[in-house]
Amino acid sequence: MVTRTSEVSSRFKMNAVIWMMHRNPDLLGSR
């Protein structure tokens, strides 16, 4: 159960990062 929870949390973080990048392309352009 612990490993499964960590897996879900890690996936959620990755999805959040990707969503933010798609939502704010300026962040990537600023760099």
The predicted model scores a pTM of 0.50
Residue 3's pLDDT band (cuts 50, 70, 90)? confident
Give yes or no for residue 29 having a pLDDT over 90.
Answer: no
What pLDDT was estimated at residue 16?
93
31, HSE (Cβ side, Cα atoms, 13 Å): 5
Report which DSSP code applies to 6: H
Q: List, for residues 4-26, the tens digit of each pLDDT value.
A: 899 999 999 999 999 988 888 77
Cα three-residue angle 22-7-31, rounded to 5 degrees:
30
Using CA atoms, how far apart are residues 18 and 8, in angstroms rounded to an integer?
15
What pLDDT was estimated at residue 23?
86
Kindly give, in sequence order, each residue whose CB lies less than 8 Å from that of residue 21, ignoring residues fewer than 6 positions away.
27, 28
What pLDDT was estimated at residue 22?
86
